[in-house]
Chain A
Amino acid sequence: MTSTDPLARAALAASRFGLGARPTTLQDIASDPRGALVEELTTGWIRRLRGADLVDPAQAAATGVSGSFTDYEGINRAETVAAFNKRVYAPVGFFERLVMFWSNHFNLSVEKASLVRAMRGVIERCVIRGLATGRFDRLLIALLTQPAMLCYLDNQESIGPNSLIGLRRGAGVNVNLAREILELHTLGYGAGYSEGDILQMAYVLSGHSYVRGWEADRNLNGGSDATRGQYIFRSDWHEAGPRRVLGRRYTGREGQLTAVLTDLARHPATAQHLAFKLVQHFLTDAPTPAMVDPIARAYLDSEGDLMQAALALIDLPQAWTLPQTKLRTPYELLVAQARALNRTWHDDDLWLLLQILDALGHRPGYWETPDGYPDDTAHWLSPNGLRVRGDGLQKATQILLARAPLTLPPRRLAARVLGPAQSAETAAAVRSAADPVQALTLLFMAPEFQRR
């Protein structure tokens, strides 16, 4: 389906790499769709997310270890809403898609603990947004020293058995975070690391922790009000000594972790793993080396620059020729719906938005396990899932239309949003629908809108 029609390329860019067209998007980017994607990655106001009701990471961490449910769920909900609204009004949404992609790669589940609930959205905004097109080693190090990540994967009480405290208490390490760093965050399954590497990695991670609420309350172990919930390296918990991970030797104490993560970030298996995941997310469920290797090479040649990886992705010939068989995730679908209608959810209706996302199994922060929401079409394309999409989109359309009248009739809106991708059958169905809710529900359920 390679096309020289600028509007067709714009429609492809907006759906494959963005969050769907708003009524003017296709016209806006038709002269240079690829350029519009690149511009998003380098434009400050497109990348930034600010809001009067959003708190900084230190405050979120303190609330997470010492606040009440109302406080930390308030932080979490404000972040979820701010991110959704930001995505509704993004020019194309390529940068947002990358933020969502890396956020899912480093999944955090708010149901794990109050600290994770308080910090998940704040980390996405303050850490991932800043580094989504930066160097992967920096992103990796920044995320793995987040109190919420240390808590989510049980590292905060991981104590080296031969450390000062380990010997005194007979304590040991927890290998959970070590395993996930190798299996999920960097090298990926099947990359040839051993259980021994995982244990060595756990020793490297021992002592990397955060200040618990009671330590801040009692000024114990370096805790105070100023450091409540903050990252802390507990030297007397760390398993000292040189470590060997994937055949390389690492000395030092606190800096040992940074050294190991930097090397892991530059490992060819990590390059392949991340490239595979990018192709699987944006292009196809069946990536081939012809798609994966150029991205992996661009990544390695730039010392793990995620900007270069993103550019290599959109510069793949397949990026503009493969048929659009991937299904939009439920979250992407609801963002795309609001973009098409050029409006976002009223505060009083947000509960319904969250219920629809819940019903579709895709509320941000609610995937329990560290692998993140699955990215294969088979997970999202199910009989029940598609049925609930129809019900949920119809309800959402009705609610969104009730707050403000349409400025374009549905048939013109469909033409603007889908451009040349709109099929004759969809156009006919939208045109002959009895009312706007039905016309727009048909638009949102149409294959051109569901697939990307």
Chain B
Amino acid sequence: MTRPLPARPLPSSTPARHDCADNRLTLTRRGLMGLSVGLFSSTFLSERARANTLSDARLLIVVLRGGMDGLSLLVPAFDPAYYTARGPLAVPPEQALALSGGFLLHPAMREVHALYAAGETAFVPSAGLPLQTRSHFECQEVLENGLAGSRPGASGWVNRLLSVLPRGEPLRDGRMLAINSNPLIVRGSEPVLNWSSTWFPRLRSSAVAPLHQIYAARDPELLAMHRLGLEVDAMAGTDGLQNDPDLPPVVNGFRGAARLLMTAGGPRVAVLAIDGWDTHAEQGVLDGQFAERLSVLDRALGVLRRDLAGVWDSTAVVVTTEFGRTVPANGTRGTDHGIGMPVLLAGGAVRGGIHGDWPGCAPGALLDGYDLRPTLDLRSVFKGVLSGHLGVDPAQLDTVVFPDSARAAPLLQGLIVETTSRRPRAASDPAPLTEAQLSVPTPILAYRQRHGAFVP
């Protein structure tokens, strides 16, 4: 079932230009001539001065696991084929929230809608992975390893991102933060800071002192580790107590991430995953499992906006998933594994609007008759963020962070507000990709390098 991207360059591989506010919307509507589009023009978006500074930059990557149904999040209201294909699963336009370019937003996304109105949210309507197998397993692997295909033992691209940042910079020295798990995307040679928003009660404070007495006498390594673990947990805002039980665990995860991202000398890049987007049956429209998950995500992003208030102008959040879902609804009032998927970007550093082309939902425009056609490689979006927001040298993005991706996934310009501090530094001589950067260390190889082969 592996289908590579078409060999010919994708129409949108020319970078979008953003010379002025009116030019911000780069949406084109190929194949949709004559349709009434656009409830709002781009002037809907506010253009306020923002102090996006590189030295304050924060980046949060949110991975929605299971394949999020993008067509129920970002609704192409101008495309009648959407309503035909989705039938009762289509989001009714009178209930949805207006964006621009004719797109509507699922009504569960009230906070995100407000951010969009403030010019702090963007969508890339149909991105795709370089590997299109419709397999959760393979697509999550490729989303996280940043390569063109599966490669067992490969590191994750966020880990390689940290490896190309200069030592001494807060972005690198603060390490990357992984919330609740240690997914492939952060694995590799660079150290990772973890924090889990576990719901069960924290070890009683009356147990900590006697435990640390044992550790101090017998096991200094455990003492140091446990102390640091408690410290990180306290910085994440739980103070050794349970999380706020009124908030869903996902929101508590975002709260902890926000507090840690605000900590002086703490992490600046964080990764968080949310499960449960694999909506094959009874996914619902305005209510139901999909709407509930969206609503939690919306609440989490709203909380993040408030918790990161001090650095919001220098924050970018990228919400992504392993694949989109089939355009037609299936027989069980759900949708199946698809290809094209939207990317949601939020934060004060994000240039709001719709970036990238819409491929169309009409049967002739679909891949194999049922999948949204990607108009951009997902890595183009990531590169646009990493270059514009963190100042990473584009050559390093093409060779180390996303190896061999220069042609398949050219950097998408214009996603990020120009920084008001220094310009991204262009490395004159970018370092090539090393085996250590690309691989998760393998103990048997290290043993053999040291001790040689076994000779019977």
Contacts and interface: CB of A to CB of B under 8 A. Distances in A.
Interface secondary structure of B, over-half rule: helix
A398 B120 CA distance: 47
Interface string B198-216: 1011111011001101110
A387 B152 contact: no
A382 B443 contact: no
Interface string A285-324: 1011100110011001000000000000000000000000
Interface in A367-418: 368-371, 375-376, 381-388, 390-392, 394-395
Interface in B209-262: 210-211, 213-215, 217-219, 221-222, 225-233
B448 A387 contact: no
A447 B198 contact: no
A349 interface: no
A429 B213 contact: yes
B196 interface: yes
B455 interface: yes
Given A189-B442, A371-B152, A111 B136 contact: yes
Given A189-B444, A190-B445, A297-B456, A383 B229 contact: yes
A399 to B, nearest CB: 10
Main SS of the interface on chain A? helix
A191 B137 contact: no
Contacts of A184: 152
Contacts of B150: 176
Given A359-B196, A390-B226, A391-B203, A384 B232 contact: yes
B82 interface: no
A425 interface: yes
B318 interface: no
A358 to B, nearest CB: 9
A120 B225 CA distance: 34
Contact of A390 (B152, B193, B203, B447): B203
Interface in B398-456: 442-445, 447-449, 451, 453-456
Interface in A257-275: 268-269, 271-273, 275
Contact of A288 (B215, B451, B456): B451
**Interface size bucket, B side?**
35 or more
Contacts of B454: 268-269, 271-272, 275, 289, 292-293, 296
A394 B456 contact: no
Interface string B141-161: 100000000101100000000
Contacts of A111: 136-137
A351 to B, nearest CB: 12
B137 A109 contact: yes
A354 to B, nearest CB: 13
A13 interface: no
A112 interface: yes
Nearest to B451: A289
Contact of B233 (A268, A371, A387, A425): A387
Interface string A324-354: 0000000000000000000000000000000
A376 B198 contact: no
Nearest to A272: B454
B182 interface: yes
A275 to B, nearest CB: 8
A189 B152 CA distance: 12
B453 A271 contact: no
A441 B453 CA distance: 45
A389 to B, nearest CB: 9
A433 B180 CA distance: 31
B194 A190 contact: no
Given A268-B454, A450-B222, A391 B214 contact: no
A254 interface: no
B195 interface: yes
B230 A387 contact: yes
A47 interface: no
A383 B232 contact: yes
Contacts of A15: none
A331 B211 CA distance: 22
B181 interface: yes
Interface residues of A, number: 71
A109 B138 CA distance: 12
A275 B448 CA distance: 12
B198 A277 contact: no
Contacts of A209: none
B184 interface: yes
B444 A190 contact: yes
Given A369-B152, A371-B152, A447-B214, A391 B137 contact: no
A266 to B, nearest CB: 10
A388 B208 CA distance: 13
A40 interface: no
B174 to A, nearest CB: 15
Interface string B330-373: 00000000000000000000000000000000000000000000
A113 to B, nearest CB: 7
Counting chain B CB atoms within 10 Å of each CB, the highest count among A112, A369, A371, A433 belongs to A369
Contacts of A272: 448, 453-454
Contact of B204 (A297, A383, A394, A450): A394
A434 interface: yes
A383 B136 CA distance: 30
A229 to B, nearest CB: 18
A355 B141 CA distance: 24
A361 interface: yes
A438 B206 contact: yes
Nearest to A280: B443
B76 to A, nearest CB: 31
B194 A385 contact: yes
Contacts of B180: 359
A372 B449 CA distance: 22
B381 to A, nearest CB: 24
Nearest to B232: A383
A450 B222 CA distance: 9
B334 to A, nearest CB: 13
Contacts of A446: 211, 214
B446 to A, nearest CB: 9
Contacts of A287: 447
A268 B455 contact: yes
A346 B88 CA distance: 44
B448 A190 contact: yes
Nearest to A375: B443
Contact of B449 (A190, A276, A277, A369): A190
Given A368-B137, A392-B200, A394-B201, 17 more contacts: A188-B445, A190-B445, A269-B454, A272-B453, A275-B454, A288-B451, A356-B200, A359-B180, A361-B182, A376-B443, A386-B226, A390-B226, A426-B214, A429-B210, A438-B206, A442-B210, A447-B222
18 contacts: A176-B152, A179-B152, A184-B152, A188-B448, A189-B153, A268-B455, A269-B453, A269-B454, A289-B454, A292-B447, A293-B454, A369-B184, A371-B442, A388-B198, A391-B200, A425-B213, A429-B214, A448-B218
Interface of B: 136-137, 140-141, 150, 152-153, 180-182, 184, 193-196, 198, 200-204, 206-207, 210-211, 213-215, 217-219, 221-222, 225-233, 442-445, 447-449, 451, 453-456
5 closest Cβ pairs, A-B complex: A387-B229, A272-B454, A383-B229, A383-B228, A390-B203
Interface of A: 109, 111-113, 176, 179-180, 183-184, 188-192, 268-269, 271-273, 275-277, 280, 285, 287-289, 292-293, 296-297, 300, 355-356, 359, 361, 368-371, 375-376, 381-388, 390-392, 394-395, 423, 425-426, 429, 432-434, 438, 441-442, 445-448, 450-451
